[in-house]
Amino acid sequence: MGGSILGTRVLRKEDPKFLTTGGVYVDDMRNEPLLKGAVHVTYVRSTVAHGRINSIDGSDAAQMPGVLAFFTGADLGLEAKPSPYNPAATRSLLAMDKVRYVGEPVAIIVSETREQGEDAAEMVIVDYDVLPALIDLEEAMASSTLLYEACGSNVVFDTTALGMPDNTGDAYFADCEVVVKGRYLNQRVAPCPLEVRGAAAAWAPDGRLVEWISTQHAQGAVAPIAAANGVDPSQVHVKTVDVGGGFGAKIGTYQEEQLLGVVAKRMGKPVVWRETRSESMVALGHGRAQLQYITIGGTKQGKVTHYQLHAIQDSGAWVDMGTILAPFMTRPMSSGVYNIPNIECRTTSVVTNATPTVAYRGAGRPEATAAIERAMDMFAAEIGMDPAEVRRINLIPKFMEPHTTVIGQTYDVGDYETALDKTLAAADYAGWRKKQAERRASGDTKQIGIGVSVYVEITGGVGNGEAAKVEITEDGRAIVYTGTSPHGQGHDTSWSMLVNAKTGIPIDKVELVWGDSDLVPVGSGTMGSRSLQQGGNAVYKVAGDLAEKAKSVAARLLEANEADIVLDTDKGVFHVAGTPAVTKSWADLAVAEKSNGGLSHDEFVGVPSATFPFGAHVAIVEVDTETGKVKHLEHTACDDAGVVLNPMLLEGQIHGGVAQGAAQALLEEVRYDADGNPITSNLADYAFISAAELPSVKVVHMETPTHVNLLGAKGIGESGTIGSTPALQSAVVDAVAHLGVRHIEMPCTAERVWNAIQNAK
């Protein structure tokens, strides 16, 4: 008997398609019968960051070649609806009274071709009374100019309103020998999926609305689309084809997608929409955008006793998911991996005249890690102690039973010191410190920096389980229906491995069905690193239950007692114990069950709580002190995601996460001018990372199983992003610390590094 396929390096079975014929994306749906004769939708977008709309004149646009219709919000009878996170904030799906950011949709053009729509959009004249643009967070907090007058303030959410304490003040640190303060910006970034947003909509002959969307959560799109179109959710069918990247920004549904059914009904024709890259940079939700006031205190021997964080979250111009990331993701994780007896965290969410913020890879947890790790570096520098040693002194000791932090968050399992030690050893931390000392002594213009971060994060915090169904066909294949949704993670391979482990059906005979709200009506989508521990967990349980259920059918066919039936998972056949020569295949069983409705099993499999992956990263950089240029030399990552299903997929997720985290640390930043005009609205102006800027990532394997699910697995999709960013920022500061530099804001561009060196002189 062979061993289980689980834990082995199985090549991704989905890759041949992507590497040869290519994926099938929303743009490829032209031949879909329901979309025959589809017309193109183009959104006219605000060119003003903040202003009252006096009039919208589309008469010239309507005369342009190929233009079939022009609609404003008033034409479509749209009404302002409240935000679920603060009902005082209201807006309509097309701006009608006021615009609040450059890129906000104000009108719709319907044309025969996409190019005609883009040309016509240039001809629309919108008359605005321009209002002051609020881009700076603290200026917005204090301003009498309000984005939403009914809110009474630009502060739209504050944890003190939930009854949580606010001890921000020096008295909190009265007993500390050492106190250090800092003000840091976790800058605004754009998700930049390679596939920008797109959607297509058609009203089917049966009266239902069918919509194809590039989304991370097909089932979650049903209700908002139904609401926008004034129909019952049962009348909406959402389909997701291949998705070329999401990174959290494609979790929710945007107004552009919600309005397509409305336009299709008006036109009596199916419609398609696809944004340009420049539109995507200003209209797809942004990430991070958190200002952090940090105070840390403790003893001269390195023990941290007090930590305080005030996180001011930039919600952008709408009270969307970004508003609640700080209170509900950053705050619970504010203590990180450290055993700090006194912690206080207040969060304040503020609306500004920038693109709304949404969930972005890590969503609130990278911000928490960045804050505490920067604080640890500041504290270490203040007392003159090695930053790795300060971390070790303050780590929560190893625990294999749940541990609750002072802030009230309960972690499942953790072994932080082992992760740190393994990473320091693999990175040759001591060797690099020696090389650093030599470079400093020689006065070389190129200096070495070493950055360390230790982190814990929360995964599978979305949803309390997942739905799965496994169905056996008459030719012995397995069809898996899952409520999660792949956009690069390798679900097809993973779920096939899980089914193979329980049934013995070869992975190339396992087919995955996902992203269709009719075929899989219950599903919580892919976000928050939940897929394997909830979706995969459900598939594993359902496949196992189906194998048990099938034994009764095999017993009937083999004329034996069910208790005597054995499933040989190496061969995928059933036989009577002690008589392996006479077998029945899965195909035999499926044929036999045809008259009984077929052979399948489906179930919603719950999980009791989230899981808490952890790890440590060490980044090595070289900084040219004459130009400020940073070179990322080496990166070592230990990301403990519990039991590993497929090491190759794990490493791929870590590599991608480190790339995204490194990009934030060194390159990426969404920027606006004083009037709220975006100045990073394409990939020529926005510094998007490539392989040329990245070293090979050294992955350190470590597995600490969780007790939360059947697989013992935790999430891995966001971990690399969380550990890498603070390690890299720390490394850059460390490279020039001997010159008197204490801090450099992200992204640590050559200009910023050079200025920091000059200012320190």
Q: What is the pLDDT of residue 2?
A: 63
DSSP state of 91: E
CATH topology of domain 32-131+197-274: Aldehyde Oxidoreductase; domain 3 (3.90.1170)
Among 715, 530, 700, 509, residue whose Cα is nearest residue 606 = 530
Cα separation values, 227 from 87, 230, 231, 232, 255, Å: 17, 5, 6, 8, 11
What pTM was estimated for this model as a whole? 0.97
The DSSP string of 466-497 is: EEEEEEE-TTS-EEEEESS--SSS-HHHHHHH
**Mean per-residue pLDDT, 461-483:** 97
**Mean per-residue pLDDT, 385-410:** 98
Distance CA 103, CA 82 (A): 20
Helix or strand or coil: residue 36?
coil
% the chain with pLDDT above 90: 97
Q: Which of the following CATH numbers is that of domain 461-606: 2.30.30.240, 3.40.50.150, 3.30.465.10, 3.30.365.10?
A: 3.30.365.10
Q: Where in the chain is the domain with CATH 3.90.1170.50?
A: 32-131+197-274
Chain segment 54-80, per-residue pLDDT in tens: 999 999 999 999 999 999 999 999 999
CATH topology of domain 132-191+285-396: Aldehyde Oxidoreductase; domain 4 (3.30.365)
CB within 8 Å of 623: residues ≥ 6 apart: 446, 447, 448, 449, 629, 630, 631, 732, 735, 736, 753
Q: What is the pLDDT of residue 165?
A: 73
Chain segment 2-14, per-residue pLDDT in tens: 689 999 999 999 9
Q: What is the pLDDT of residue 425?
A: 98
What single-letter amino acid sits at 569?
A: T
Q: Hey, what CATH class is 410-459+612-761 in?
A: alpha beta
> Crossing angle, helix 429-442 and helix 416-427, to 10 degrees?
50
**Mean per-residue pLDDT, 283-298:** 98
Q: What is the pLDDT of residue 1?
A: 44
Chain segment 168-227, per-residue pLDDT in tens: 677 899 999 999 999 999 999 999 999 999 999 999 999 999 999 999 999 999 999 999
Widest CA span in the chain:
89
> How many other C-beta atoms lie within 10 A of the C-beta of residue 457?
31
Chain segment 711-737, per-residue pLDDT in tens: 999 999 999 999 999 999 999 999 999
Residue found under tokens 């010191």: 417
Q: What is the mean pLDDT of the chain?
A: 97
User: Residue 355 above 50 pLDDT?
Assistant: yes
Q: Where in the chain is the domain with CATH 3.30.365.10?
A: 132-191+285-396, 410-459+612-761, 461-606
Chain segment 102-128, per-residue pLDDT in tens: 999 999 999 999 999 999 999 999 999
Distance CA 292, CA 371 (A): 7
